[in-house]
């Protein structure tokens, strides 16, 4: 699954780091580092972290079927003229 955090919004509350420590970690006092491409085993933790983020800064793939294959590739194939 793919993850991106809007770090302009993030205020370093670290809720995500408690709920999904394998994906979100604090670097220093308040800089957030995260794994943009986490295994699907993490999905439940990550979804919980995204829901708990007080500023809603965590964006996770909304497409369940997307898994780990390159979506663009698949869409490109679906559109071969």
Partner 1 sequence: MSVDELSRAFRQHGRIVIVGASLAGLRAAETLREEGFTGSLTMIGDEPQEPYDRPPLSKQVLLGHMPADATPLPRRRALDAQWRLGVAATGLDLTGRQVRLADGEEVPFDRLLIATGTRARPWVKEAEADLDGVFVLRTSDDAARLNRRLTARPRRVLIVGAGFTGSEIASACRERGLEVTVAERGPAPLVGALGGVIGAVAAELQREHGVDLRCGITVTALEGDSAGRLTCAHLSDGTVLDVDVAVIALGAMRNTEWLAGSGVAAGPRGVACDAGCRAFDIHGIVTDDIFVAGDVARSPHPLFGYQFLSLEHWGNAVTQAEVAAHNMISSGPDRLPYLWVPAFWSAQFGVNIKSTGVPTMGDKLMITQGSLAEHRFTVAYGFQGRVIAAVAFDQARWLDFYRRLIETAAPFPLEFANVDRRPEGLRAVPSEFPDPSLPSHGPTVTLSGYSPSDRKVTFTPARM
> Do the Cβ atoms of 37 and 70 come closer than 8 Å?
no
Q: Which does 36 bind (CB under 5 to 8 A by kind): partner 1, ligand SF4, none?
A: partner 1
Nearer to ligand SF4, 11 or 44 (CB): 11
Whose Cβ is closer to ligand SF4: residue 38's or residue 57's?
Answer: 57
Give the nearest distance from C-beta 76 to ligand SF4 in angstroms: 32
CA distance 10 to 72: 28
Task: Determine contact, residues 17/30, Cβ cutoff 8 Å.
Answer: no
Give the x/- contact pattern for ligand SF4 in 44-63, rule: CB under 6 A: ---------xxx-xx-----
């Amino acid at each position: 699954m793919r993850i991106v955090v809007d770090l302009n919004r993030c205020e370093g509350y670290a809720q995500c780091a408690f709920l999904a420590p394998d994906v979100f970690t604090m670097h220093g006092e308040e800089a957030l580092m995260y794994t943009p491409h986490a295994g699907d085993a993490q999905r439940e933790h990550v979804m919980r972290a995204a829901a708990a983020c007080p500023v809603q800064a965590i964006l996770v793939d909304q497409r369940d079927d997307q898994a780990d294959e390159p979506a663009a590739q698949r869409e490109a194939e679906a559109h071969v003229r």
